[in-house]
Amino acid sequence: MADLSFTGTVSGLNHARICGRLRKRHQPWLMRWGVLVCVGVYIVLLILLVLIANLTGMRLPSWSSYLPLAGLFAVLIGLVRWRRRHVWDSIRDAPIRSAPQQFDLTPEGLHIRGDLIESLIRWPAVLDVIEDPEGLLLLTGQMEYIVIPTPAFADPDALRAAKAACEDWIKATRAPI
DSSP string, the chain: ---------STTS-HHHHHHHHHHHHS-HHHHHHHHHHHHHHHHHHHHHHHHHHHH-PPPPGGGGHHHHHHHHHHHHHHHHHHHHHHHHHHHT-HHHHS-EEEEE-SSEEEEEESS-EEEEEGGG--EEEEETTEEEEESSSS-EEEEEGGGSSSHHHHHHHHHHHHHHHHHHHS--
Is residue 8 domain-resident? no
User: Is there a domain that residue 4 lies in?
Assistant: no
Give the residue-averaged pLDDT of 102-113. 91
Domain boundary among 93, 111, 127: 93
Asked, for residue 167, whether it belongs to a domain, the answer is yes
What pLDDT, on a 0 to 100 scale, did the predictor assign at position 121?
93
- Report the share of the chain in percent with pLDDT over 70: 93
Global pTM reads 0.62
Q: Which of 71, 93, 115 is the last residue of a domain?
A: 93
pLDDT for the residue numbered 123: 94
pLDDT digits (tens, 9 = 90+) for 17-74: 877 777 777 777 777 788 888 888 888 888 887 888 888 887 777 777 777 788 888 8
Total of domains in the chain: 2
Tell which phi-psi region holds residue 106, choosing left (phi > 0), alpha (psi between -120 and 50) or beta: beta
pLDDT of residue 170: 94
Domain boundary among 93, 121, 139: 93
Residue 80 lies in a domain: yes
- Tell me the pLDDT tens digit for each residue of 1-20: 667 656 666 677 787 787 77
For residue 71, being part of any structural domain is answered with yes
Are 150 and 111 part of one and the same domain?
yes
Alpha-carbon distance of 111 to 104, in angstroms, equals: 5
> Domain of 153: which CATH number?
2.30.29
Mean pLDDT for 94-119 is 87
pLDDT grade for 110, boundaries at 50, 70 and 90: very high
Do 103 and 84 share a structural domain? no
Predicted local confidence at residue 89, as pLDDT? 77
What pLDDT sits at residue 171?
93
Q: 106 with 76, same domain?
A: no
Smallest CA-to-CA distance from 170 within 115, 116, 112, 107 is with 107
Strands 145-149 and 135-139: antiparallel
156 vs 34, residue with greater confidence: 156
87: containing domain: 26-93
User: Does residue 143 sit within a domain?
Assistant: yes
Over residues 159-171, mean pLDDT? 94
Are 103 and 130 found together in one domain? yes
> Is the per-residue pLDDT at 81 higher than 60?
yes
